[in-house]
């Protein structure tokens, strides 16, 4: 019987099967940020076990609230910073070099096909875009990962999502994943890996695949995952060129991870994207999704462009193309947070930052801040935000605030009109 | 092993997320105890008061499907733990929340809808109390002069974590 990519990764990383159905896996990458790691560090110190299993396999970043906004967040940053120095963790990113973890770490080439990856952050599923098994975990799993380099999972069942057809103009990976979540519902993929397949994926950039896999958790999924192909090889090539004789050789090596043709799936979902329209959430759950025509005209107070979902260069390009030569509506304020320093610099060099600033955007440093209502764009009671982020939970971006999730294109059109707007008329 | 018994708090809604259990603005606290006052602060449910006596006296939470969805923050189990609530009974859980509970030596117990409906039958009783026996895999509900005993399923690994007091102690002795 064939295996899925997730089953192949589990089999190759198996350390122990303490009980039927429970797999303890060896970890290739353990990623840490300053919100969920400090309590793990404190606990390890209290236990007299302030050690790390392999400093080279730990990646750490201060990203959620940076620069620190108060004494408490400064303390969290300091605990992570001191720990990274104490253990000589080479890949630690502080102010000046830091960015949103799920944009920064792929950009550094840390994620490879077939890897097992954990982080104390639910959007770790993003890294499945590279053909890795990448799961968000809590602080205790992170703590054991830091100390022992292992993590326990239930045996993986996989939902295969075939994306067929061609994306219409104005419809992007974000619209696709919102449609998928609307179809599966917020717990339709619980304890499942979401395997994205089909010609739509084959034609997608790594950035778009990351957007897609990023929101697997919003359907309850353990990890999103894509087959590592030529697009993956091209993205990773600067980091792997010494490991493989050629790109073809790298691709051949990556293909061993591909799900077998006779792999067994828990469920197969077929979606033709050709008739999809721009999607926007309503309500307080990410599976509450409308097509643009059903929600256009809803006034907003703030537009937020950024995050691990949609703060990459490709997203900024799409939004800037719509905003070029235009102004945001006087009734809105708009915030752009490029997800990493590299994205910020590339956007500067391409003239995108100038477009945003001339349109009336505030451009902030890379940080998670506003997405979870911690800093840099928190909403007031009763305010509405058009956002390219990933969660619309009640109070998510500030107590009493309302969040509509959408693509960068839709957010740009919305900024211009001051109310939720169809991006297609600007393309 | 922790205690899994006492007055029950009934939260009759599916998809209660970790932002509702503990809003992100409190994730800057460095100790678990500091989370204590903020339990369920952003949860809006008819008749529910996060600061009320029913919340402060609760030792067991009963809810519906997909409890604990959203963020991976272990602050969600911790805010229950420091309020002496070590068990949540629901129709289903989000994976990360469920694992976080067991990793802390706490319990996330799944019951089919019929069993939960039976437990929710105690929601109107002022003296509703629930005791969960992890080893025997039994839930005993008491209130209004009634009593019911229900069995539940738990994976052997999750049970071992509860008995070991959590994943750090379990993993440290084994790997």
Residue in the block written with tokens 């420091």: B82
Give CA–CA dist B10/B64, Å, rounded.
9
- Whether A243 and A384 map to the same domain: the answer is no
Q: Do A39 and B74 touch (CB under 8 A)?
A: yes
- For A138, which of B66, B72, B160 is closest by C-beta distance? B72
Burial environment of residue B168 by CB neighbours within 10 A (0 to 12, 13 to 18, 19 or more): buried
| Tens-place pLDDT, residues A263-280 | 999 999 999 999 999 999
- For A374, which of B25, B95, B175 is closest by C-beta distance? B25
Residue in the block written with tokens 């097509």: A291
| Those residues with Cβ within 8 angstroms of residue A151's Cβ, 6 or more apart along the chain or in another chain | A24, A25, A27, A116, A118, A135, A137, A141, A144, A145
Token couple for A327: 């102004």
Query: What is the DSSP code string of A198-232?
Result: SHHHHT--HHHHHHHHHTGGGGT-SEEEE---HHH
**Is A225 among the domain residues?**
yes
Report in angstroms the alpha-carbon separations of A203 from A209, A294, A395, B168. 10, 29, 36, 43
- Whether A210 and A324 map to the same domain: the answer is no
| Those residues with Cβ within 8 angstroms of residue B76's Cβ, 6 or more apart along the chain or in another chain | B18, B21, B22, B68, B97, B100
- Whether A46 and A176 map to the same domain: the answer is yes
Q: Which of A216, A236, A270 is the last residue of a domain?
A: A270
A63, A140, A146: best mutation site toward chain B, by most B Cβ within 10 Å? A140
Percent of chain A beyond pLDDT 90?
A: 99
Tell me the residue length of chain B.
175
- Whether A231 and A294 map to the same domain: the answer is no
Peptide bond into A67 cis (omega under 30): yes
Give CA–CA dist A268/B31, Å, rounded.
44
- Whether A231 and A290 map to the same domain: the answer is no
3-class DSSP state of B88:
strand
Token couple for A33: 């940020």
Query: What is the DSSP pairing of strand A91-93 with strand A58-61?
Result: parallel
Tell me the residue length of chain A.
427
- Chain B residues within 8 A of A147 when measuring between CB atoms: 168, 171-172
Q: Do B30 and A136 touch (CB under 8 A)?
A: no
- For B24, which of A190, A222, A373 is closest by C-beta distance? A373
* pLDDT at res. B102: 98
B70, B90, B91: best mutation site toward chain A, by most A Cβ within 10 Å? B70
CA nearest B17 in A: which residue? A393
Residue in the block written with tokens 């519902």: A185
- Whether A73 and A197 map to the same domain: the answer is yes
**Is A214 among the domain residues?**
yes
Report in angstroms the alpha-carbon separations of A282 from A75, A127, A287, A394, B162. 36, 27, 9, 11, 39
Q: Which band of pLDDT confidence, cut at 50, 70 and 90, is reported for residue A161? A: very high
Give CA–CA dist A228/A201, Å, rounded.
11
- Whether A308 and A407 map to the same domain: the answer is yes
Q: Do A19 and B160 touch (CB under 8 A)?
A: yes
Give CA–CA dist A299/A143, Å, rounded.
44
Continuous segment of H or E residues that includes residue B107: strand B107-110
* pLDDT at res. B96: 98
To which CATH superfamily is domain B5-174 assigned? Answer: Aconitase, domain 4 (3.20.19.10)
- Chain B residues within 8 A of A152 when measuring between CB atoms: 157, 167, 171
**Of B134, B131, B129, B130, the residue nearest B153 (C-alpha):** B134
Give the distance, in angstroms, between the CA of residue A399 and the centroid of all CA atoms in the same chain.
24
Contact by Cβ (8 Å): A319, A313: no
| Tens-place pLDDT, residues A175-215 | 999 999 999 999 999 999 999 999 999 999 999 999 999 99
| Those residues with Cβ within 8 angstroms of residue A247's Cβ, 6 or more apart along the chain or in another chain | A230, A233, A234, A237
Burial environment of residue A352 by CB neighbours within 10 A (0 to 12, 13 to 18, 19 or more): buried
**Count: domains in chain A:** 2
What single-letter DSSP state applies at residue A9? Answer: H
Q: Is the pLDDT of residue A156 over 90?
A: no
Contact by Cβ (8 Å): A344, A338: yes
Q: Do A148 and B157 touch (CB under 8 A)?
A: no
Query: What is the DSSP code string of A284-311?
Result: TSTT-EEEHHHHTT-B-SEEEEEHHHH-
Give CA–CA dist A152/A24, Å, rounded.
4
* CATH number where A355 lies: 3.30.499.10
**Is A295 among the domain residues?**
yes
ipTM of predicted assembly, 2 dp: 0.96
- Whether A243 and A307 map to the same domain: the answer is no
| Those residues with Cβ within 8 angstroms of residue A318's Cβ, 6 or more apart along the chain or in another chain | A172, A407, A408, A409, A412
Residue in the block written with tokens 């790298």: A250
- Chain A residues within 8 A of B95 when measuring between CB atoms: 190-191, 220, 222
- Whether A168 and A219 map to the same domain: the answer is yes
Q: Is the pLDDT of residue A390 over 90?
A: yes
| Tens-place pLDDT, residues A23-49 | 999 999 999 999 999 999 999 999 999
**Of A81, A37, A69, the residue nearest A376 (C-alpha):** A69
CA nearest B105 in A: which residue? A140
Min distance A137 CA to chain B CA atoms (Å) = 6
Residue A319 dihedral angles phi and psi, to the nearest 5°: -70, -40
Give CA–CA dist A245/A268, Å, rounded.
37
* A47/B contact by beta carbon, under 8 A: yes
Q: Which residues of B touch A (CB under 8 A)?
A: 15, 17, 19-20, 23-25, 27-32, 42, 44, 65-66, 69-74, 77, 92-97, 99-100, 103-104, 155-157, 160, 166-168, 171-172, 174-175
CA torsion A135-A137-A142-A144 (nearest 10°) is -90
Domain boundary assignment for chain B: 5-174
Q: Which of residues 362-381 of A touch B (CB under 8 A)?
A: 372-374
Q: Is the pLDDT of residue A1 over 90?
A: no
Give CA–CA dist A195/A203, Å, rounded.
16
3-class DSSP state of B68:
coil
- Whether A84 and A205 map to the same domain: the answer is yes
CA nearest A391 in B: which residue? B70
pLDDT under 50: residue ranges of chain B: none
**Is A35 among the domain residues?**
yes
- Whether A265 and A322 map to the same domain: the answer is no
- Whether A259 and A294 map to the same domain: the answer is no
Token couple for A219: 């359907």
Helices (H), A241-390: 247-254, 292-295, 307-310, 313-323, 341-349, 352-359
Q: Do A144 and B167 touch (CB under 8 A)?
A: yes
Q: State the residue range of the domain holding A200.
A: 5-270
């Amino acid at each position: 019987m064939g295996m899925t990519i997730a089953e192949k990764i589990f089999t190759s990383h198996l350390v122990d099967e303490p009980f039927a159905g429970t797999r303890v896996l060896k970890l290739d990458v353990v990623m840490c940020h300053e919100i969920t790691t400090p309590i793990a560090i404190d606990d390890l110190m209290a236990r007299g076990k302030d050690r790390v299993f392999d400093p080279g396999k730990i990646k750490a970043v201060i990203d959620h609230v940076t620069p620190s906004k108060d004494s408490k967040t400064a303390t969290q940053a300091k605990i992570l910073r001191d720990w990274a120095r104490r253990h000589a963790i080479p890949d630690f990113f502080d102010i000046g070099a830091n960015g949103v973890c799920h944009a920064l770490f792929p950009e550094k080439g840390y994620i490879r096909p077939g890897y097992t990856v954990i982080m104390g952050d639910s959007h770790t599923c993003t890294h499945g875009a590279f053909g890795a098994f990448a799961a968000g975990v809590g602080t205790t799993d992170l703590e054991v990962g830091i100390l022992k380099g292992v993590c326990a999972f239930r045996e993986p069942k996989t939902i295969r999502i075939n994306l067929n057809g061609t994306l219409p103009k104005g419809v992007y990976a974000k619209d696709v994943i919102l449609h998928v979540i609307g179809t599966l519902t917020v717990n339709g993929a619980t304890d499942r890996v979401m395997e994205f397949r089909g010609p739509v994926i084959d034609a997608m950039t790594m950035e778009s695949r990351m957007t897609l896999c990023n929101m697997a958790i919003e359907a309850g999924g353990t990890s999103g995952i894509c087959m590592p192909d030529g697009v993956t090889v091209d993205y990773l090539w600067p980091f792997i060129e010494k490991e493989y004789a050629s790109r073809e050789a790298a691709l051949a090596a990556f293909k061993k991870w591909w799900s077998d043709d006779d792999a067994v799936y828990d469920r197969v979902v077929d979606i033709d994207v050709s008739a999809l329209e721009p999607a926007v959430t309503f309500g307080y759950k990410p599976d509450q999704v409308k097509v643009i025509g059903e929600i256009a005209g809803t006034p907003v107070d703030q537009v937020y462009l950024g995050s691990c979902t949609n703060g990459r260069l490709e997203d900024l390009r799409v939004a800037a193309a719509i905003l070029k030569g235009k102004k945001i509506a006087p009734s809105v304020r708009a915030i752009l947070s490029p997800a990493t320093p590299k994205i910020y610099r590339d956007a500067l060099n391409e003239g995108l930052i100038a477009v945003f600033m001339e349109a009336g955007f505030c451009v902030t440093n890379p940080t998670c801040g506003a997405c979870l209502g911690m800093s840099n764009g928190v909403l007031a009671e009763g305010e509405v935000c058009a956002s390219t982020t990933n969660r619309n939970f009640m109070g998510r971006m500030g107590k009493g605030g309302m969040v509509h999730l959408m693509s960068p294109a839709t957010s740009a059109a919305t900024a211009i009109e001051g109310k939720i707007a169809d991006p297609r008329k600007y393309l | 092993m922790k205690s899994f018994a006492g007055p029950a708090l009934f939260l009759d809604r599916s998809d209660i997320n970790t932002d509702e259990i503990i809003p992100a603005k409190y994730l800057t606290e460095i100790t678990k105890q500091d989370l204590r006052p903020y339990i369920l602060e952003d949860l809006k449910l008819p008749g529910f008061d996060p600061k009320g006596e029913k919340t402060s006296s609760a030792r067991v939470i009963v809810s519906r499907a997909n409890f604990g969805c959203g963020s991976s923050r272990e602050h969600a189990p911790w805010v229950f733990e420091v309020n002496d609530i070590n068990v949540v009974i629901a129709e289903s859980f989000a994976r990360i929340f469920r694992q976080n509970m067991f990793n802390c030596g706490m319990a996330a117990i799944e019951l089919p809808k019929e069993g939960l409906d039976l437990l929710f039958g105690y929601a109107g009783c002022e003296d509703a109390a629930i005791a969960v026996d992890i080893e025997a895999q039994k839930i005993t509900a008491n209130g209004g002069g009634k009593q019911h005993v229900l069995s539940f399923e738990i994976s052997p690994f999750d049970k071992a974590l509860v008995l070991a007091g959590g994943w750090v102690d379990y993993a440290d002795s084994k790997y």
